[in-house]
Amino acid sequence: MTRELPLTGIVVVELSDSASAPFAGKILAELGAEVWKVERPAGDSARGWGPSQWKGDGAAFHALNRGRRYLSLDIKDREQLATLHRLIAERADVFLHNLRPGTAARYGLDAESLRVTKPELVHCEIGAFGKAGPLRELPGYDPLMQAFAGIMDITGEADGAPVRAGVSIVDFGTGMWAVIGVLAALHRRHVKHTGATVDASLLETAIAWMSVGIAGYEADGNPGGRHGSGVAFIVPHRAFATEDGALIVSCANDPLFARLAAALDHPEWAADPRFATNAARLANRTEIDRLIGERLATGTRAHWRHRLEAAGIPCAPVQTTAELVAHEQTRELGIIGSPEAGEIGVVGLPLSFDGMRPPPLHAVREVGADNELLGSVLPTRA
C-alpha cells in the first residue's frame, strides 16, 4: 500500500470549538487532509475540559484535535479576520466551522459570501437545531439534543430516570455526517467542477439516531420505551449478571434462542409457546429475562462466555475502559496509538485502507503554534 492517504492534497480550514467540528476535522486529517485549526486567542474550550489533563490541556482536546496546524486568530479584529479570509481564499478546498447561528454571516464567513469569490469552495457548517424552524438561532450541545430528540426518554432502566448516553454520540455523529457531506461534495466538485454548501446539525443527527423508535411510533404509537441494556425489539438482547461481572447476550433470531436455551441446560424453553418466537419473548420479556438471569448468576463470566461462544451465541463482557485498553483484541487491532514515545495514546481512525490503518496523528501543540507559517503560505499583498 502506498503511504499516500485518500485526502492527500486537500486543504481544510477548520474554525472550531468543543467537539462536533473538531471530530470532523480529526477524521479529515486522518484521511490525509492538511487541516488548519483556527482557535480564538483563549483557545478551544476543550483545552480546559477535565478532569483528565495531559501537558496542560484536557485529555479530550488531545483526543479530538491532533494532526493539525494550530492558528490563533481573533475574528473580531479586522486584520486577523482578513487573514482568515485570505487563508480560505488562497489555500482552502474546505472551510469547516461550528460557529453560533448568525456568527458566520456577521463576519463574511457564510457560504454565500465565501463562494462569491471562490465558487469551488466546499463550505461545511455544523449547527445546533438546524437551518430552519423556530429554534434555528439557538445554540445547543450534545445532552440538549439527546433530550430534545427523545434519546434520553428511551435510555435507562424502565423504572428509572431518563439517562444520557455516556459518550457524546450526537457530537461525534454530527462530525461524521459532516465528513460524509464533505466527501460527497468533494466528489461532486471533481466531477462537475463546482463547490457546495454542506449543512449538518446536532438535532438532525439526534433525530437520525431515533430512526427505529420513530418508525415504531409512526406504526403504532409505541417508540419502544426504556429497557436498560436491552432493546425494544429483540429478546434476549441485554446484559445479565454473572458471579463476577455482567455479560451481554444477544439472540437476534429464534434459532439462536434455541441454541441459548440448550447451552443453559434448558432446551425446553425453545419449545415453550411463551418463548418460542421473538414476538412471544417480547410479550413475556420479564419472565424469560428472569429465567436467563437466574441461570447465568450460577457461574462466572468466563465460564458462560466459554460455553455460549462454543454454542455460537453472540455474547460479550461488560468491560471497564481499563479492560478494553488492555484486551488482546484491542491491542491486535492497533487502533490506540501515539506517533511518538512519551505521548498520550489516542484512538485512531476506525478504518483501514488496503489492510493498513492510517498512522497516528502528530501531537497537539499550543494555541497559535503555527501562526508564523502564515507568512510562507499566503502571497504577499501588493
Catalytic residues: 171
Pull the grid cell for residue 295.
Answer: 441461570
Q: In the chain, which ranges are E strands? A: 11-15, 34-39, 53-54, 57-58, 69-72, 94-97, 122-127, 196-201, 237-241, 246-250, 315-317, 336-337, 346-347
DSSP 32: T
**Residue-level length of the chain:** 382
Number of neighbours of residue 142 by Cβ within 10 angstroms: 24
225-to-156, 159, 205, 237, 256 alpha-carbon distances in Å: 9, 11, 20, 15, 24
- Distance separating alpha carbons of residues 234 and 94, to the nearest angstrom: 42
Residue 122 — φ and ψ, nearest 5°? -95, 115
What is the rounded radius of gyration, in angstroms, for the C-alpha atoms of the chain? Answer: 25
- Distance separating alpha carbons of residues 3 and 349, to the nearest angstrom: 15
Pull the grid cell for residue 173.
Answer: 455523529
